């Protein structure tokens, strides 16, 4: 059975949502709009080991030494990674497709990405997708049939995730491939992570979303208010 054919209950929504057909291959998908997270696989990886996320020795050592009071970049209003931004359960995200680029705006931490759609553009030459947060890397997007695919490199060394996957790190060799797979008002985002420094093998995080009419709100993180103890979080 297609994984899309599931019943999802979202907040006070009492109806059933069934993933059915798909956009014809070769057509730009109906991705525009605002999306709300209804499921993510990272929690399954922690609780059951499926899909597995296996750290190298170096990754395990970094994880063991993690101290959220001093190491969590969110306490300085810095998003650790796009994967971490998407793991936040309540804030929404928005996709806006244009002729030569895609906007992806996240309510959490007010992250705004601009990803060029240029098959001739080498990743190393791509602009920073979030200039105010250069550690989020350089990205290039393309369409493969109904899927939007975004590849990202030049990601900065640091904490990868602070929620669910608590204290997981990434090296500057981390590369990701995001696949946005639409089916009507439902969307799967599958992010494949490759980081040979801190992980034994590539791993996926799968996010499932429902389209919503709700608008994105301003997050407005302020460093002096975000830190639990400013003495530990000063620059």
The rounded Cα 104 to chain-centroid distance in angstroms is 10
User: Could you tell me the end-to-end alpha-carbon distance of the chain, in angstroms, rounded to an integer?
Assistant: 51
- In the chain, the domains with their CATH numbers are 33-233 (2.40.128.20)
The model's pTM is 0.84
Q: What is the reported pLDDT for 89?
A: 77
Q: What is the pLDDT of residues 139-161, one digit of tens each?
A: 999 999 989 999 999 999 999 99
Q: What is the reported pLDDT for 233?
A: 59
Q: What is the reported pLDDT for 223?
A: 82
Residue 88 CB burial class (10 angstroms; 0-12, 13-18, ≥19): buried
Cα 162 to Cα 138: distance, rounded to the nearest angstrom: 22
- What are the structure tokens assigned to 18, written together? 């069934």
Q: What is the reported pLDDT for 226?
A: 78
Q: What is the pLDDT of residues 120-142, one digit of tens each?
A: 999 999 999 999 999 999 999 99
Listed as ranges, residues in the chain with pLDDT below 70 are 1-29, 228-235
Q: What is the reported pLDDT for 12?
A: 34
Q: What is the reported pLDDT for 7?
A: 33
Map residue 45 onto helix, strand or coil. helix
- What are the structure tokens assigned to 122, written together? 């080498």
Cα 126 to Cα 137: distance, rounded to the nearest angstrom: 9
Q: Give one DSSP letter per residue of 123-159, joined into a string.
A: GGGSPBSSTTSGGG-EEEEEEETTEEEEEEE-PPSEE
Q: What is the reported pLDDT for 229?
A: 65
Question: Strand 158-161 relative to strand 168-170: parallel, antiparallel, unpaired?
Answer: antiparallel
């Amino acid at each position: 059975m297609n994984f899309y054919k599931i019943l999802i209950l979202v907040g006070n929504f009492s109806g059933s949502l069934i993933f059915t057909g798909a956009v014809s291959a070769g057509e730009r998908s109906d991705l525009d709009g605002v999306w709300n997270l209804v499921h993510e696989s990272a929690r399954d990886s922690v609780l059951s080991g499926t899909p597995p996320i296996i750290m190298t020795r170096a990754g395990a050592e970094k994880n063991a030494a993690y101290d959220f009071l001093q190491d969590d970049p969110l306490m300085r209003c810095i998003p650790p990674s796009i994967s971490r931004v998407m793991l936040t359960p309540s804030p929404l995200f928005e996709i806006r497709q244009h002729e030569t680029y895609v906007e992806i705006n996240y309510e959490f931490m007010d992250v705004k990405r601009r990803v060029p759609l240029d098959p001739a553009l080498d990743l190393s030459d791509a602009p920073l997708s979030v200039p105010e947060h250069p550690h989020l890397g350089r990205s290039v997007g393309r369409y493969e049939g109904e899927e939007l695919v975004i590849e990202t490199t030049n990601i900065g060394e640091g904490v990868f995730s602070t929620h669910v996957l608590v204290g997981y790190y990434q090296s500057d060799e981390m590369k990701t491939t995001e696949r946005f797979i639409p089916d009507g008002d439902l969307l799967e985002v599958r992010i494949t992570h490759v980081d040979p420094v801190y992980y034994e093998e590539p791993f996926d995080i799968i996010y499932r979303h429902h389209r919503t009419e709700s608008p994105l709100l301003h997050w407005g993180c302020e460093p002096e208010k975000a830190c639990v103890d400013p003495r530990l979080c000063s620059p």
